[in-house]
Amino acid sequence: MTVVLDSSALFEMQDLPDDDCVTVPGVWLELKRHKDPRIAYWEGILRTSSPGPGSMAKVERAAERSGDSGRLSATDTELLALALELDSVLLSDDYSMQNIAQLIGVKCVPVATRGIKKVWKWAYRCKGCGKMYDSDKTECDVCGHGLKSVRRR
C-alpha cells in the first residue's frame, strides 16, 4: 500500500509506516525550514513525487465547491492530488485537507487528532460590514476590510 504523508503527520511521527511512503517537494521544504532532525534518516525512505494536472484540477474544483480553496496551500493541493492519483491513503491532521479528501474519495487518516466527523462547507464574511462571499478575496467589495472564513449554515 502507498501512503502519502503531509508535514502535519510527519511532525507528529517518530517512525514512518512500513508502507511505500511518498510526499511532495513542498513538504521537504517545510521540514527543512523547521530544521527537523529526522530529515537525513527519512531521505532514504520517503520518496518524492508530484501529481499530474488532471488530479490537481479535480482537487481545486472540490476546494472551490466546499469553500476550502482559501484554506489550502499549494502543497496541500498537491498532496491531495497525489493521494487521489496514486489511489493511496493520506496521513494528515489538517482539517481542510481531510474535508477535501472526503469529497474526492481519498481515505485520510489523522495522526495526532481525532479527524473530522463530517464535511464542512465554508463561506467568507467581511470583518467590517459582515457581507458574505462564497470564495476568499483579499478585501470586501463594500468596505475594504479583510474577510474571515466561517462555516456555512
> Do residue 64 and residue 22 come from a single domain?
yes
Q: Same domain for 25 and 59?
A: yes
Let me know if residue 117 belongs to a domain: no
Phi, psi of 122 (to 5 degrees): -115, 150
Mean pLDDT across 50-57:
97
pLDDT at residue 71 tops 70: yes
Q: Which domain holds residue 46?
A: 2-109
Q: What is the pLDDT of residues 4-24, one digit of tens each?
A: 999 988 888 877 888 899 999
Q: What is the Cα gyration radius of the chain?
A: 17
Question: What is each CA distance from 89 to 19, 55, 123, 125, 127, in whole angstroms?
Answer: 10, 15, 28, 33, 37
Classify the phi-psi angles of 118: left when phi > 0, otherwise alpha if psi is within -120 to 50, otherwise beta.
Answer: beta
Q: Domain containing 7 — which CATH number?
A: 3.40.50.1010
Query: Which candidate, 27, 35, 120, places its Cα nearest to that of 80?
Result: 27
91 has which bridge partners?
A: 5, 109
Residue at 76 is within a domain: yes
Most confident of 24-33, 65-74, 136-145: 24-33
Domain count, the chain: 2
- Do both 58 and 81 map to the same domain? yes
Q: Does residue 115 fall inside a structural domain?
A: no
Is 68 in the same domain as 136? no
Please report whether residue 100 resides in a domain.
yes
Which cell numbers hold the place of 153? 449554515
Residue 129 and residue 88 in one domain: no
